[in-house]
Amino acid sequence: MDFELSDDQRSFRETARRFAEQEFGPHAADWDETGHFPVEQIRHAGETGFCGVYTPEALGGLGLSRLDATIIFEEMARIDPSTAAYITIHNMATWMVANWAQSDLAETLVPQLASGEKLASYCLTEPGAGSDAASLRTRAERDGDVYRLTGSKAFISGAGSTDWLVVMTRTSDDGARGITTFAVPADTPGISYGKKETKMGWNSQPTRTISFDNAEVPAANRLGEEGGGFKIAMKGLDGGRINIATCSVGAAQGAVDAAQRYMKERRQFGRTLAEFQGLQFKLADMVTELVAARQMVRLAASKLDGGHPGATTFCAMAKRLATDLGFSICNDALQLHGGYGYIREYPLERLLRDVRVHQILEGTNEIMRVIIARNLLDQDSTESLS
């Protein structure tokens, strides 16, 4: 078992770090303040390959592993968790189109998504279907060579500013087996967007509801088979949980970096904060938890890459641990800054606000515990988690 990064992975990390520092660093606070969606910088990420990290090379992506992706996304989130999180969502949508679209659509659309020329939103959650994704009600009725979509989606990242929507719909009343996925142009007649939500964090990406009123979608835009959408969604969520956990790790690293700098600079009672043993202990605990979260995320990514039978459980554990610890570390870093941590001149309050939602989305951490416990109790032993 080798915990060291390969030369290629170190190169990915350095490239992502430079990119984030140059493209996100000077603007992240302003984007948060104004609610600006940085389409230009996201397209630059696509030019670097970061909009199709685990999309196949044959369709314009980098063709990297999920483990490689965690290394890249962590560096982005260290500077700007909000923008990094949108890029991970776009990557998930791109991967879904690449893997399940019919060949003509895939060959046309995926290179545009992987390059950042076109941006995508992922549409699963509904006003009445959050944790219980199988209860979604947005319907797609077949009419010859088209489907007509009716219903609504909620909390959709990028909605109103992206070019394509990957939409989970109901094509029959057969529970989870009645769900079907479509790639839908965002400007399709019959689609309308709600107001831009005012949020606690994630302010560099717009969040809106989406309504479908007999929006006509070609049958050729269906992803996978009719009724196969729930499996696509669940496979997407495994990776999505790793992605959001990675964003928490990145934000926590950014908070630790800020705390280290501040403790060396700030003086009280004639000494720097770094000289107080109590604060040294706090920093030591923060870094220990950060490393534990990072290794849990990388373990889950490795299990997903390897097709391990317990991969879903590992992804749920990583999401639960990393998002809880990530928030705690950012909060502790803010505390170490005292009153300065609470003002916007420093990045701590932005990091804290951005990571709070990570404990909710891609399945709440309470749902993660349900998944872990159910999968564990379905086994005769813990061997499948070794």
- Residue 318 shares a structural domain with residue 274: yes
Q: Residue 380 — pLDDT band, cuts 50, 70, 90?
A: low
Q: Which two tokens stand for residue 195?
A: 């107001």
The three-class DSSP label of residue 6 is coil
Could you say which DSSP state residue 52 is in? S
Distance from C-alpha of 13 to C-alpha of 294, rounded to nearest angstrom: 14
Residue 82: CATH number of its domain = 1.10.540.10
Residue 240: CATH number of its domain = 1.20.140.10
- Supply the pLDDT for residue 120: 98
pLDDT at 154 over 90: yes
pLDDT at 246 over 60: yes
Which of 87, 114, 141 is the last residue in one of the domains? Answer: 114
- Residue 242 shares a structural domain with residue 374: yes
DSSP string, 202-218: -TTS-EEEEEEEEEEEE
Which residue type does 176 have? Answer: A
The three-class DSSP label of residue 76 is helix
Which residue type does 307 have? Answer: G
pLDDT at 381 over 60: no
- Residue 234 shares a structural domain with residue 355: yes
202-228: per-residue pLDDT in tens? Answer: 999 999 999 999 999 999 999 999 999
Instruction: Look up the domain containing 345 and give its range.
Output: 230-385
Is the pTM for the entire model greater than 0.85?
yes
Domain count, the chain: 3
Q: Which two tokens stand for residue 51?
A: 């909009």
Distance from C-alpha of 61 to C-alpha of 115, rounded to nearest angstrom: 8
Q: What is the mean pLDDT of residues 268-272?
A: 96
Catalytic residue among 75, 226, 362, 366: 362
Residue 23 appears among annotated catalytic residues: no
Distance from C-alpha of 103 to C-alpha of 89, rounded to nearest angstrom: 22
Q: Residue 21 — pLDDT band, cuts 50, 70, 90?
A: very high
- Residue 235 shares a structural domain with residue 169: no
Q: Residue 131 — pLDDT band, cuts 50, 70, 90?
A: confident
- Residue 234 shares a structural domain with residue 217: no
2 lies in some domain: no
Yes or no: say if 372 and 319 are a contact pair by the CB < 8 Å rule: no
DSSP string, 145-199: TEEEEEEEEEEEETTTT-SEEEEEEESSSSGGGGEEEEEEETT-TTEEE-PPPP-
Kind of pairing between the strands at 164-170 and 120-123: parallel
Could you say which DSSP state residue 275 is in? G
